[in-house]
């Protein structure tokens, strides 16, 4: 009986050793798969970070261009205003001056015409 018990005990130890080996193999496989998965996740994170950075730089360039275009629009509007808009007070003064010259020329023409007709009568 002693022999049987030792034999059973040896088989139990072998079974435990076999289960331990299988557990170690499964653990190694799972560790390998987990490390591969972490590598894939790292690649995706790197890609997402790169894309985010590129998008941010594109947005900055677009904002810079938008601000530059707004400044150009303001500059062109001011330039157009300076070139085409009339100074209201200056225009009125020019009109009054021109009207005075016109009235004076009409009066001069009327006086010359009166003298000429009176001389013939």
Question: Is it the case that residue 43 has pLDDT exceeding 90?
Answer: yes
* Parent domain of 111: 88-121
Residue 109 shares a structural domain with residue 97: yes
Q: How many domains does the chain have?
A: 2
Alpha-helical (H) ranges within 1-121 are 2-84, 88-120
Residue 76 shares a structural domain with residue 105: no
Residue 55 shares a structural domain with residue 74: yes
Question: Is it the case that residue 59 has pLDDT exceeding 60?
Answer: yes
Residue 120 in tokens: 């013939």
Residue 44 shares a structural domain with residue 79: yes
Determine the Cα–Cα distance for residues 60 and 54; give it in Å rounded to an integer: 10
Determine the Cα–Cα distance for residues 74 and 70; give it in Å rounded to an integer: 6
Residue 72 shares a structural domain with residue 17: yes
- Tens digits of per-residue pLDDT, 71-103? 998 888 888 877 777 677 888 899 999 999 999
Instruction: Indicate the average pLDDT of the chain.
Output: 84
pLDDT at residue 33, rounded to an integer: 94
Residue 62 shares a structural domain with residue 74: yes
Residue 68 shares a structural domain with residue 113: no
How far is CA 61 from each of CA 38, 46, 65, 70, 73, rounded to the nearest angstrom? 34, 23, 6, 14, 18
């Amino acid at each position: 009986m002693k022999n049987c018990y030792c034999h059973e005990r040896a088989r139990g130890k072998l079974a435990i050793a076999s289960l331990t080996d299988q557990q170690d193999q499964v653990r190694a496989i799972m560790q390998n798969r987990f490390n591969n998965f972490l590598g894939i996740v790292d690649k995706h994170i790197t890609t997402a970070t790169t894309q985010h950075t590129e998008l941010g730089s594109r947005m900055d360039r677009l904002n810079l261009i938008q601000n530059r275009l707004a400044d150009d629009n303001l500059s062109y509007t001011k330039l157009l205003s300076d070139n085409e808009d009339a100074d209201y007070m200056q225009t009125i003064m020019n009109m009054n001056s021109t009207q005075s010259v016109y009235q004076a020329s009409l009066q001069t023409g009327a006086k010359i015409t009166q003298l000429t007709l009176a001389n013939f009568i």
